[in-house]
Chains A and B, each alone.
Chain A
């Protein structure tokens, strides 16, 4: 009996020690994560930024960005943010047939202007040109490439005004409701939707930004 009670006590203290060590490991990890992502993508000294986000939560921010990233890397977004000067097409993001060029203003060149085929709305049917009144790629002097970017690279780029089209925090938040961004959720026949609804995306986007826009 005595030895059994002794064994029970041993087990209890063993469990306590295990629980405490797990807790300690978790706390170390949390400190490490926040230290690692300590490079907030936004400069906290930037006045435009600090007026908007009052609280910062690196864990929440990074968590939200993983959702944002899954949307931005979906074909509906990445196809018009190519690494080269030819837009991408289709759910497999292949080079756009006919190889139209970006052009200086992102609206094509010569006979191959975007709006020569892309109308102000989607053309009916599959394999027809999608459309929006403002159909374009980013311009040549601000390419805002998504294709091939890691989550960390993209997060940093998105909040750098020198690389994001000179957007401040307010403009970034507003961008979630940009007409061409919204097109991603109404892409016309035969095109898959981004992995999150627009509401979920916008929520994650704002959570990421307002919690310090940490780069994972």
Chain B
């Protein structure tokens, strides 16, 4: 056990866990930030994607000591009022089926939109290829990302 200082969604936290504990465990079991989901635990599905220093890391294989002192953003902190262009677009297109994969999908899409504000279908496919949806909402995800890009452009 060791004390690890974390900065998640702009807030400071201190947790006493083994340094090899996955970030996902700390988020869900210690800090009750349960928007981030556990799908496979081996970096193969994308359900657990969060931002670590702006990168779309898989929190199930990211040990807590890697996140120490770094900026972490989870789905709860993507926007203050749940009004990130992606969240608005997701609602409008009614993307989710069961919803389990969706916070990971949105967190990945947020990195894509930051890097490529107006992505093509190909950009979307390349960026979202690591996020699996067992309900098969891929076409709605693609549509919502295009819509979010429009919303984001209008906001600028």
* A interface residues (Cβ-Cβ under 8 A, vs B): 97-101, 109-113, 115-117, 119-120, 123, 125, 127-129
Would you give the shortest CB distance from B8 to chain A, in whole angstroms?
18
Q: A129 contacts B61, CB within 8 Å?
A: yes
Interface residues of B, dominant DSSP:
mixed
Cα of A128 to Cα of B123 in the assembled complex, Å: 27
Cα of A100 to Cα of B56 in the assembled complex, Å: 13
A119 with B62: in contact, given A111-B130, A125-B42, A129-B42 (CB under 8 Å)?
A: yes
Residues of A within 8 A of B115 (CB): 110
Cα of A127 to Cα of B43 in the assembled complex, Å: 9
Residues of A within 8 A of B66 (CB): 119-120
Would you give the shortest CB distance from A105 to chain B, in whole angstroms?
14
Would you give the shortest CB distance from A100 to chain B, in whole angstroms?
7
CB closest chain-A residue, reference B104: A111
B111 within 8 A of A: yes
Q: B58 contacts A116, CB within 8 Å?
A: yes
Q: B55 contacts A112, CB within 8 Å?
A: no
Interface residues of A, dominant DSSP:
loop
Question: Per a CB cutoff under 8 Å, which of A97, A113, A120, A123 touches B55?
Answer: A113
Q: B61 contacts A112, CB within 8 Å?
A: no
B128 within 8 A of A: yes
Q: A127 contacts B62, CB within 8 Å?
A: no
Q: B111 contacts A111, CB within 8 Å?
A: yes
Cα of A111 to Cα of B130 in the assembled complex, Å: 8
Q: Give the 4 A-B residue pairs with the shortest CB-CB distance, closest first.
A: A117-B43, A111-B56, A110-B127, A111-B108
Q: A112 contacts B130, CB within 8 Å?
A: yes
CB closest chain-A residue, reference B56: A111
Cα of A127 to Cα of B123 in the assembled complex, Å: 28
Cα of A110 to Cα of B46 in the assembled complex, Å: 14
Q: B44 contacts A97, CB within 8 Å?
A: yes
Residues of B within 8 A of A123 (CB): 42-43, 61
A116 with B63: in contact, given A109-B127, A111-B112 (CB under 8 Å)?
A: no
Residues of A within 8 A of B63 (CB): 119
Q: In the complex, which of the residues A116, A119, A128 has the most CB atoms of chain B within 10 Å of its own CB atom?
A: A116
Would you give the shortest CB distance from B107 to chain A, in whole angstroms?
9
A98 with B61: in contact, given A111-B49, A116-B55, A129-B42 (CB under 8 Å)?
A: no
Cα of A128 to Cα of B128 in the assembled complex, Å: 20
Residues of A within 8 A of B123 (CB): 110
